[in-house]
Chains A and B, each alone.
Chain A
Amino acid sequence: MELDFNSEKTIFQQIADWLEDSILSGAFPEESQIPSTTEFSVLYKINPATALKGINLLVDEGVVYKKRGVGMFVAAGAVEKLRAKRKESFYDHFVASMVAEAKRLGMNREEVTALIHRGFAQEQKEETL
């Protein structure tokens, strides 16, 4: 993970997003331990309160839980929960901005749809490699 200190996104939000991505990708499977605030803090030279704030966003969502005296763990069902959440924001995050950009470039619905088909085909090709 690279933290972007000039981003409009806060550092703790970037940490939360990175953790979410890692849980979704299976890098941190359910019931496995995630890095501690100390590890985040020392590795990225950030205040531990910032790291804690990022992790706590996931605790509030029930994606991560605390085992007293041991550390933070990925909750059972976390992947399903995150998928549902991300699907909900998929339209706002990706579709709306894609359509807006297509309009700016004077692309019509058919051109955009064709590109989406191409994207899926490419993905399939890479998977079979």
Chain B
Amino acid sequence: MSIVINQVSKSFGPVRALNRVSVTLEEGKIYGLLGRNGAGKSTLLNVLTDRIFPEEGSVTVDGEPVRDNDRALSKMYLMSEKNCYPESMRVKEAFRWTKEFYPDFDQEFAWNLAAAFELNTNAKVNKLSTGYSSIFKLTVALSVNTPYVLLDEPVLGLDANHRDLFYRTLLSRYTQRPFTVVISTHLIEEVASLIEDVVVIHKGEVLRQGSCQDLLSQGYTVTGPKGLVEEYLKGKNVLGVDALGGLESAYVLGEPDRSSLPQGLELSGLDLQKLFILMTGK
């Protein structure tokens, strides 16, 4: 059971938004879809859910092509900036309608979650503030019970308390009944410990995909006095360097040699956000 994206390309006029993108999203995993603004994250999610059509390549869900395929599409729920409900529909009516399209939608859970978020269920969907518009869509996404839930910038406009509630609810739902979650975001620090696998896209191409742990274990950080760090870095594969006065932190690919580490230098891990910035900097 998986979503397989095979060699997908999509252009908007002269802009190549996706270029031969191949990604596999396995059953029951939490993915981070990471990319800078305009990298192609939303385009990819829209292609996945048949909202826009690629020029080349294919998308299959559990072996079936998604193109005009209601059964395949009903297995995925995409939460995105776009509002798919009629203009004047109220939140509570939207909950009832969602049940029509997604039979496993848990209305009781949605109502409880709406209460926890203090979402006004009498409000019209298109009149909600940015934060509450996200909350409304997240409430649906966390209640919909599809095998694949795709979240495009899920915490847009949410305050710290609401983000916390969202992440905790997501994990508690996930541990009760694992489903595939794709979190597309540029807030990497917040999701770094949540995600199991990462897909990094840059300028419409997949730079990296795989286990978050593996990615981070491919390098390390070494910190110390400038001269010592520079001496240490000779002959090593250096990703980047940050300096603070006479102190330097260097991000290095490879395994650190602990036995030959000069006194005064300290080793630490790489963090996902730093690595992402170094990978997608140019």
Contact = CB atoms under 8 A, between A and B. Distances in A.
Q: Which bucket holds chain A's interface residue count?
A: 20 to 34
Interface of B: 30, 164, 167-168, 171-172, 174-176, 192-196, 213, 220, 263, 267-269, 271
Contacts of B195: 47
A42 B194 CA distance: 10
A38 B271 contact: no
Contact of A45 (B167, B196, B267, B271): B167
B175 A42 contact: yes
A8 interface: yes
Secondary structure dominating the interface of B: mixed
12 contacts: A3-B193, A5-B193, A5-B271, A8-B267, A10-B213, A10-B269, A11-B193, A37-B175, A38-B171, A41-B174, A42-B171, A42-B172
A41 B171 contact: yes
Contacts of A10: 213, 269
Interface string A105-124: 00000000000000000000
A37 B178 CA distance: 13
Contacts of B167: 45
Nearest to B168: A42
A24 interface: no
Contacts, number: 53
Nearest to A3: B193
A95 interface: no
Nearest to A45: B167
Contacts of A47: 30, 171, 193-196
Given A45-B168, A46-B194, A47-B194, A6 B271 contact: yes
A7 B268 CA distance: 6
Nearest to B192: A5
B269 A7 contact: yes
A48 B267 contact: no
B89 to A, nearest CB: 32
Nearest to A9: B269
Contacts of B30: 47
Of A8, A9, A41, A45, the most chain B CB neighbours within 10 A belong to A45
A49 B196 CA distance: 8
Interface in A26-76: 37-38, 41-42, 44-50
